[in-house]
Every structure is written in structure tokens, then in C-alpha cells.
């Protein structure tokens, strides 16, 4: 099966590179900007780049790798340009169902989705390993078959995620990856304010993050959580909130409140400790909880 990859961002180019490495035929990459064309040239010098109004090559299947908010408009834009031979169209959005590709539902095409549950930090950097990565798929029968075949070729594990569950599935992925990433970067910034170099801060956090993540994934629920919230140490939590930058303190409080509520519901902390934690987590004005520090204006 000959594929056309539409989109030259991090996900599109990483998948196109992985497809080539796995022996999956890629007939071209559609790019919309000079910057995208430059990335595609570096990442896949032997694959044709389709820019502007150049005609699409005749392919068997197309993979739309564009942002969630751009997907429907992209489907409308490429609909007149896909040839009659293209029988399958997939998108890589974790949020949208196959119906987001409705403008392409002509000539008997099967529509579907394939979302790799992993992170693509760059388009042209090291190839992201896909072995064992979950591929969330959905769509019509022909699209499901193509998605399973492509996932298997790339070493991924295909699992169907129904349209009604896509938003919750995608939110879970964002919690685990994107928002955790933001919290880790914020934690590193706070260590830098304590006098650590960025590299020392990263080295200090690495084993802590590895152990915490491993414990969370192995746990049945919230019983393996450690730290002051899990101990019901409300005074410590209050000290943390007063020490942090206001926006970071607000993020800390939101996550800590979630943890405290779950811990209390599960009976891991007492109602008394839960009430004290809630008081500590809601008693501060995060817009004025910390005085500006030297150098904080660059934030």
C-alpha cells in the first residue's frame, strides 16, 4: 500500500520516517510552508515534497497529520486533490472521531483514525521508538484494517477507542504527558531558583521522576502516592504554596486538591487531615501569594 502523508510537523514527519524505516511505501509528504518543506527535505530527502497547488501523487491511502483544530479544514482543502485510487484516509488526532474526515467520504473511501500514544519532541531529531506503543484506532471497516496493518508494521499495539470516548482518552493522554511535562519543567525552574544549574536540576529530578512514575503505573489506585499530601501534612503544603511563584503555586494547588480528594475518598487519609489540606489549598490568593523575586521578570 502506497501512502501519502499530509502534514510536515513533528508527528507527520516522525511517522513518515518510521514508515520508511519499516518498509512501508511513502509516495510523498504534503507541506504548506517553506519551513515545513525545509524540515521535510532534511528528514526525508528521498521522498517527494508536495507544496502549493502541485497535484498529489496517485496513492492507495492518505494519513492526515495536522493539529486537532485544523483537521476539519484540512480535510475540506485536500478533498478535491486526492485521486480516485486513494481508498483509505486516516487521521492521527487523538481527539476527533473518523467523522472529522467527512469531506473525504467520496468515491467509496474508508475513513478512520490512528493516534500513536507517544510523544514526538522533534520532527528531525532521533527517530522515536514505536515498538509497543499503543495506537488508538477507529473508523470504518476498511480503515480499521488499514490502521491495524500500519500499526503492526510500525511495531505498535492497535486498540479501538470508540468515538464517544475520544475526548476522555485524549485528556488522559494530555494529563499523563503534556501536563506532566509542564509540571516537571516548572519544578526544574524552581530548583534553578534555589541555585541549581539547569543540568543539575534535571539530574536531581530524574531518579525521583522515574521512581514516582514507576510506582504510579504499578499501583492499583492512590495508595502508592508519597509526599506531604499523602501524609496529610497541611502545614508543609501551605509552606510550599507560599514559596512558589504564583502561577506555579496555583498549578500545585489544583493537582494537590485532586490528590487530596482521591486520598480522602479512598480512606488513605482521614477526613480530619483532608479538611486541613483543603483549607491550606484554598486559603491563598495566588495572585499575591509570593513577592516578585530577582530575575523573575523574564518569566
Q: What is the dihedral of CA 294, 295, 296, 297, to 10 degrees?
A: 110
293, three cell numbers: 523575586
Confidence of residue 282 (pLDDT cuts 50, 70, 90): confident
Between CA 285 and CA 248 the distance in angstroms is 13
pLDDT tens-digit profile of 66-102?
Answer: 999 999 999 999 999 999 999 999 999 999 999 999 9
**Is position 225 within any domain?**
yes
**Residues 126, 55 within the same domain:** yes
pLDDT digits (tens, 9 = 90+) for 155-176: 999 999 999 999 999 999 999 9
134 and 197 inside one domain: no
For the chain, how many structural domains are there in total?
Answer: 3
User: Is the same domain home to 235 and 175?
Assistant: no
The answer to whether residues 73 and 198 belong to one domain is no
Assess whether 251 and 173 both reside in one domain.
no
Would you say residue 30 lies in a domain?
yes
Say if residue 295's pLDDT is above 50.
Answer: no
Q: Cell for 194?
A: 534555589
Which residue stretches of 69-179 are H helix?
71-78, 141-153, 166-173
* Runs of H (alpha helix) within 160-243: 166-173, 180-193, 198-218, 228-231, 234-243
208, part of any domain: no
Residues 169 and 284 in one domain: no
Residues 52 and 182 in one domain: no
The C-alpha cell at 16 is 513518515
Report the pLDDT value the prediction gives residue 296, as an integer from 0 to 100.
36
Burial zone of 84 (CB within 10 Å; 0-12 exposed, 13-18 middle, 19+ buried) = exposed
Distance between CA atoms of residues 113 and 99, nearest Å: 9
In degrees and rounded to multiples of 5, residue 91 shows phi and psi of -120, 165
Residue 149 and residue 88 share a domain: yes
Residue 8 and residue 148 in one domain: yes
Length in residues, the chain = 299
Regarding whether 149 and 197 lie in a shared domain, the answer is no
Q: Are residues 34 and 139 in the same domain?
A: yes
List Cα–Cα distances, 182 to 94, 176, 238, 292, in angstroms. Answer: 20, 11, 22, 21
**Domain coverage including residue 272:** 219-298
pLDDT classification of 107: cutoffs 50, 70, 90: confident
What is the pTM (predicted TM-score) of this model?
Answer: 0.87
Amino acid at each position: 500500500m502506497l501512502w501519502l502523508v499530509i502534514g510536515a510537523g513533528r508527528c507527520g514527519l516522525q511517522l513518515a520516517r518510521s514508515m520508511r524505516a519499516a518498509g512501508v511505501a511513502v509516495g510523498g509528504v504534503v507541506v504548506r510552508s517553506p519551513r515545513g518543506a525545509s524540515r521535510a527535505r532534511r528528514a526525508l530527502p528521498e521522498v517527494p515534497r508536495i507544496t502549493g497547488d502541485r497535484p498529489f501523487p496517485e496513492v492507495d491511502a492518505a494519513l492526515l497529520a495536522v493539529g486537532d483544530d485544523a483537521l476539519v479544514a484540512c480535510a475540506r482543502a485536500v478533498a478535491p486533490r486526492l485521486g480516485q485510487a486513494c481508498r483509505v484516509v486516516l487521521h492521527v488526532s487523538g481527539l476527533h472521531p473518523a467523522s472529522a474526515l467527512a469531506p473525504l467520504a467520496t468515491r467509496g473511501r474508508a475513513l478512520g483514525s490512528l493516534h500513536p500514544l507517544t510523544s514526538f519532541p522533534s520532527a528531525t531529531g532521533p527517530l522515536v521508538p514505536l515498538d509497543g506503543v499503543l495506537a488508538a484506532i477507529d473508523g470504518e471497516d476498511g480503515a480499521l484494517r488499514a490502521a491495524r496493518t500500519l500499526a503492526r508494521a510500525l511495531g505498535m499495539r492497535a486498540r479501538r477507542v470508540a468515538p464517544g470516548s475520544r475526548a476522555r482518552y485524549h485528556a488522559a493522554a494530555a494529563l499523563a504527558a503534556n501536563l506532566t511535562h509542564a509540571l516537571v519543567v516548572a519544578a526544574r525552574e524552581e530548583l534553578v531558583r534555589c541555585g541549581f544549574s539547569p543540568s543539575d536540576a534535571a539530574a536531581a529530578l530524574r531518579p525521583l521522576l522515574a521512581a514516582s512514575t514507576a510506582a504510579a503505573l504499578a499501583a492499583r489506585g492512590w495508595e502508592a502516592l508519597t509526599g506531604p499530601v499523602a501524609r496529610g501534612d497541611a502545614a508543609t503544603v501551605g509552606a510550599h504554596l507560599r514559596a512558589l511563584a504564583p502561577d506555579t503555586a496555583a498549578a500545585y494547588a489544583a493537582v494537590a486538591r485532586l490528590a487530596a480528594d482521591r486520598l480522602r475518598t479512598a480512606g488513605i487519609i482521614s477526613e480530619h487531615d483532608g479538611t486541613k489540606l483543603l483549607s491550606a489549598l484554598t486559603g491563598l490568593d495566588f495572585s499575591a501569594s509570593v513577592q516578585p523575586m530577582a530575575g523573575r521578570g523574564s518569566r
